[in-house]
Every structure is written in structure tokens, then in C-alpha cells.
């Protein structure tokens, strides 16, 4: 009885401690993200004040972004979530406070001038930076610091997108592939909800999509089959995103030009592409996403089927040459437009449904977060989509393979029993080979086919000889 009492007392104090800490950091992050989103909204609203196409400023903005980041906070470069994951795994969650203002300024410059990036990465990095500062003030040990940083990721994600549950799950799912960090689950939920509530209280409005017209579909087997095929498509699409992002990054990195020249050249390339294909692929692209999720096909009649490929190129170049921002909003765009194209090309009438499935499934595949993606589908689109979203997201997650847009994720599982995977490593260092048993099976099959081929050749030779 005494042991039980001691255990319950310790748990009670631990829960109380983390409820206070996570709610406090959630409120702080919710307020900071509110400032960021408000300034971002004002910047986007005032683009029309520029006397020419606003994206003509992009080469100069990318030059300035690279200078600001390299001069004041090099760890603020790229898409923020990746840097936070790297900080947790390699630096015990230590993030310098300078990251917050530098990331804010660099992201605002990039998005205002049309850089194809998202706003969630900065939200996560800002949240993690605030949590790191609080950890320093309270002199936390390494374990508590990491927990608070994860709360910062969840709070930043939740307050940017208005999805507190998905934000909390994302924070504990994105760090290690195949492991849910249950010890941080409660603090993450509280931090996410506190940040979301704070942002709402301070006037931030969120966009939710009405897909309730699908609630009459109780059990549609042909549709379920199409969703399975869509999951395969979204998995391949996620793999393509990772491939293109990695390839562009390597090409830019190997080029020996000065980083500032790379930024200017990359900006010019994007300006040329926007002049040819249109400015829908610049910035956040939320209007296009919204159009694909509308049941009225008139909103997307001018949207080309290859829109997701163009967004992929715009985003890869923006981030590759030094633009600052997140990767997840572009993934939403790629997924939604990819789902729209899939529905049109397959002749399915549920166009908005497949756009919604693509929205969350490409997120699941490219970031290895199928649970957070499924919950996000429910929070954004309604409960009726849950079963379809779960099927599509998990299939996409598996088909993408052992790859990710977040190269610092730790791999703790293999996605097929036929593969030999080096777990416990960062995903970019994981060695993926066929299992020895599977290699033997393939070799046996190959030997049998070879013997069969030789046998047929001998028979043909005899037949020709007899004739």
C-alpha cells in the first residue's frame, strides 16, 4: 500500500508540473505565433501596393534572406521543423533565442515576395525556440528540456493550422518513425490546446472545410477500392516530393557559386516560371487548396492537372537556394492538387474528397506521420472522412518507403518484413537492403527461370534439328 501511495503521489506531482509548464508555454507560443500570423496576413494583403508584380522582388528578397540568416542565426535556414528535429536529436533541444526574430523576418520576406514555402515550419521553430529559452531560465535537465521542446513543436503546429489534436500528435510522432512518445503525450495535448485557444482569443481565424456532403456514403466498396489506389498514388507522389527536394538541394549545394548569387539566380528562375505558368504556385497557395476542396468544379476548371508538379518545382527551388519557411503547407498544396488530378484522370465524381485525401496523405507519406495526418483530416474536414483518410494515409506512409523531407528523423521500424533496415539511425543514413532470406528466395526463383529458359532452348534446338 505504501509503494502504491508513493507511486500515485509522484505521478500526481509530475502531471501537475507538466500541466502548468505545458499550458504556460502553449500560451506564450500562441501569442508569438499570433503576432507572426497577423504580420504575415498584413503583408499578403498589402502586396497590391507594389507598383509591379510583387514576385519581381523575389531575387532581392532571397538575397536578403540568405544574408540575414547567415549573419545572425544560421540555424534558422531552411524549413524550420527539420531544424527543430535536428536540435532535439543532436543538441538536446538547445535552440538559440536569436532564431525567433530571424526566422520571423526571413519567412515574412520569403512569403511576401512569392517564395513557395509554408508558415508551419517557422511556427514550430519559433515555438521550440521559446521553449528552449524557458528551459534555460528554469535550468531544466536534458530530458525535461526535450519534453518542453516537443511541446513547443505541438503548440506551434496547432496554433498555425488550428488543429490542436493533430498538432499534439505531430509533435510526438515526427521525431522517431515508428514510435509514439507517450511520456510527452499529455504535455503536448495541453500545449497544443493552450496555443490554439490563445491564438483564437487574440483574433486568429482558422479555415475549416465543409465536406459533410459525404456523410451519406455509408459503405461504398468501389469507392474504398479507389481510395486504396489513391493511397498508392499519394505514396508515389510523396516519394517524388522527397526525391525532387533532395535532388535540387544537392545540385545547389554542389554548385560552387557564392550563396548570394545562388539566391538571386534561384529567384530569377522562379520569376520566369511564374510569368509562364502563373502566380498560383507562389507563396502559401491557400486559395488554390481551398478551390480544390470545393464541391463546385467551376472553381478548378482552369487548374492544370500537373499543378502539383509545378508546386513541387517552385518549392524545391525556393528552399534549395536559401528561402526561409516551412514545407508542410506546400505538401498540402501538392497533395490537394494531386488528389484533384487523380480524381479527374480516373473519372471519379468525388473530386473534393480525393483532394482532401491527398491533402493529408502526402503529409503522412512525406513526413512519416500517418496518425497525425488522419486526425488532421477529422479536424479539418469532419468525422465522415475519417475511415477513408486512415486507409489512404497509412498506405501512402508505407509506399513512400524509408524516406522523408525531414532527414533528421530517427528510423525505429522497417516498413516491410522483406527489407533489412538499419534502425536507430537518422533516416538519411539508414541502409535499406533486401533481407537475406528474401535474397535467397529471389535467387532460387531466378535460377529456376534460368533452368527453364535453358530447357526450352534445348527443346527448340531439337525440334529444328528434327525438321
- Ranking 160-164, 237-241, 303-307, 454-458 by mean pLDDT, the lowest is 454-458
pLDDT of residue 334: 97
Q: Is the pLDDT of residue 55 over 90?
A: yes
**pLDDT greater at residue 295 or residue 286:** 286
Q: What percent of the chain has pLDDT over 90?
A: 40
- State the residue for C-alpha cell 520576406: 109
- Could you state, in order of their start, the residue ranges of all structural domains in the chain? 2-201, 223-411, 435-467
**421, 412 contact by CB (below 8 A):** no
Q: Is the pLDDT of residue 359 over 90?
A: yes
How many angstroms separate the CA atoms of 111 and 258, rounded?
23
How many angstroms separate the CA atoms of 335 and 15, rounded?
38
Q: Would you place residue 336 in the very low, low, confident or very high pLDDT band (cuts 50, 70, 90)?
A: very high
Relative to beta strand 432-434, strand 176-177 is: unpaired
**pLDDT greater at residue 343 or residue 78:** 343
Q: Is the pLDDT of residue 435 over 60?
A: no
pLDDT of residue 399: 94
pLDDT of residue 212: 56
Claim: this prediction has a pTM higher than 0.85: yes
Q: Is the pLDDT of residue 254 over 80?
A: yes
pLDDT of residue 215: 47
Q: Taking residues 375-400, what's their average pLDDT?
A: 91
How many angstroms separate the CA atoms of 105 and 54, rounded?
17
Q: Is the pLDDT of residue 17 over 70?
A: yes
pLDDT of residue 455: 67
Q: Taking residues 237-264, what's their average pLDDT?
A: 92
Tens digit of each residue's pLDDT (9 = 90 or more) over 414-423:
887 777 777 7
Q: Would you place residue 48 in the very low, low, confident or very high pLDDT band (cuts 50, 70, 90)?
A: confident
Angle between helix axes 99-112 and 2-45 (nearest 10 degrees) is: 40
Q: Taking residues 359-384, what's their average pLDDT?
A: 92
**435, 418 contact by CB (below 8 A):** yes
CA angle at 358 for the pair 357 and 360, rounded to the nearest 5°: 70
**pLDDT greater at residue 400 or residue 448:** 400
pLDDT of residue 219: 61
Q: Would you place residue 103 in the very low, low, confident or very high pLDDT band (cuts 50, 70, 90)?
A: confident
Q: Taking residues 269-280, what's their average pLDDT?
A: 94
Distance of CA 153 to the CA centre of its chain: 13
**93, 149 contact by CB (below 8 A):** yes
Q: Is the pLDDT of residue 464 over 90?
A: no
- State the residue for C-alpha cell 528510423: 411
How many angstroms separate the CA atoms of 410 and 354, rounded?
30
Which architecture does CATH list for 223-411? Orthogonal Bundle (1.10)
**pLDDT greater at residue 229 or residue 127:** 229
Q: Does domain 2-201 have CATH number 1.10.3080.10?
A: yes
Q: Is the pLDDT of residue 461 over 70?
A: no
Q: Which three cell numbers stand for residue 182?
A: 507517450
Most confident range, picked from 46-50, 79-83, 375-379, 459-463: 375-379
Q: Taking residues 167-194, what's their average pLDDT?
A: 89
How many angstroms separate the CA atoms of 322 and 365, rounded?
24
Pick from 364, 397, 359: nearest CA to 380: 359
**How confident is the prediction for the chain on average, in pLDDT?**
86
Tell me whether domains 2-201 and 223-411 share a fold.
yes
Q: What percent of the chain has pLDDT over 70?
A: 89
Distance of CA 245 to the CA centre of its chain: 12
Q: Would you place residue 206 in the very low, low, confident or very high pLDDT band (cuts 50, 70, 90)?
A: confident
Q: Would you place residue 443 in the very low, low, confident or very high pLDDT band (cuts 50, 70, 90)?
A: low
Amino acid at each position: 500500500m505504501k509503494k502504491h501511495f508513493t507511486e500515485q503521489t509522484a505521478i500526481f506531482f509530475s502531471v501537475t508540473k507538466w500541466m502548468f509548464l505545458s499550458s504556460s508555454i502553449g500560451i506564450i507560443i500562441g501569442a508569438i505565433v499570433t503576432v507572426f500570423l497577423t504580420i504575415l496576413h498584413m503583408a499578403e494583403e498589402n502586396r497590391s501596393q507594389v507598383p509591379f508584380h510583387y514576385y519581381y522582388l523575389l531575387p532581392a528578397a532571397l538575397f536578403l534572406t540568405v544574408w540575414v540568416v547567415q549573419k545572425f542565426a544560421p540555424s534558422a535556414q531552411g524549413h524550420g521543423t527539420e531544424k527543430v528535429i535536428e536540435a532535439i536529436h543532436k543538441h538536446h533541444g538547445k535552440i538559440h533565442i536569436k532564431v525567433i526574430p530571424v526566422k520571423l523576418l526571413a519567412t515574412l520576406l520569403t512569403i511576401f515576395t512569392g517564395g513557395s514555402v509554408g508558415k508551419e515550419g517557422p511556427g514550430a521553430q519559433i515555438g521550440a525556440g521559446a521553449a528552449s529559452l524557458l528551459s534555460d531560465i528554469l535550468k531544466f535537465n536534458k530530458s525535461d528540456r526535450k519534453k518542453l521542446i516537443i511541446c513547443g513543436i505541438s503548440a506551434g503546429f496547432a496554433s498555425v493550422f488550428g488543429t490542436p489534436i493533430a498538432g499534439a500528435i505531430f509533435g510526438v510522432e515526427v521525431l522517431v518513425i515508428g514510435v509514439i512518445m507517450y511520456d510527452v503525450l499529455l504535455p503536448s495535448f495541453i500545449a497544443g490546446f493552450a496555443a490554439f485557444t490563445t491564438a483564437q482569443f487574440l483574433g486568429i481565424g482558422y479555415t475549416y472545410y465543409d465536406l459533410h456532403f459525404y456523410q451519406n456514403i455509408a459503405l461504398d466498396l468501389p469507392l474504398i477500392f479507389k481510395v486504396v489506389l489513391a493511397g498508392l498514388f499519394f505514396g508515389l507522389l510523396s516519394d517524388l516530393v522527397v526525391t525532387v527536394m533532395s535532388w535540387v538541394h544537392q545540385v545547389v549545394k554542389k554548385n560552387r557559386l557564392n550563396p548570394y548569387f545562388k539566391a538571386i539566380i534561384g529567384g530569377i528562375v522562379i520569376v520566369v516560371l511564374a510569368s509562364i505558368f502563373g502566380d498560383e504556385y507562389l507563396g502559401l497557395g491557400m486559395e488554390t487548396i481551398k478551390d480544390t476542396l470545393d464541391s463546385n468544379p467551376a472553381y478548378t476548371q482552369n487548374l492544370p492537372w500537373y499543378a502539383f508538379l509545378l508546386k513541387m518545382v517552385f518549392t524545391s527551388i525556393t528552399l534549395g537556394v536559401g528561402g526561409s519557411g516551412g514545407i508542410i503547407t506546400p505538401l498540402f498544396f501538392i497533395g490537394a492538387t494531386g488528389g484533384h488530378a487523380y480524381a479527374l484522370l480516373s473519372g471519379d465524381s468525388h473530386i473534393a474528397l480525393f483532394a482532401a485525401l491527398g491533402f493529408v496523405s502526402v503529409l503522412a507519406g512525406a513526413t512519416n506521420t500517418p496518425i497525425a495526418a488522419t486526425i488532421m483530416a477529422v479536424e479539418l474536414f469532419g468525422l465522415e472522412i475519417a475511415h477513408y483518410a486512415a486507409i489512404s494515409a497509412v498506405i501512402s506512409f508505407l509506399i513512400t518507403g524509408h524516406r522523408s523531407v525531414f532527414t533528421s528523423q530517427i528510423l525505429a521500424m522497417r516498413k516491410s518484413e522483406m527489407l533489412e533496415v538499419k534502425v536507430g539511425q537518422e533516416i538519411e543514413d539508414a541502409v535499406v537492403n533486401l533481407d537475406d532470406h528474401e535474397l535467397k528466395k529471389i535467387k532460387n526463383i531466378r535460377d529456376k527461370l534460368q533452368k527453364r529458359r535453358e530447357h526450352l532452348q534445348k527443346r527448340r534446338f531439337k525440334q529444328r534439328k528434327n525438321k
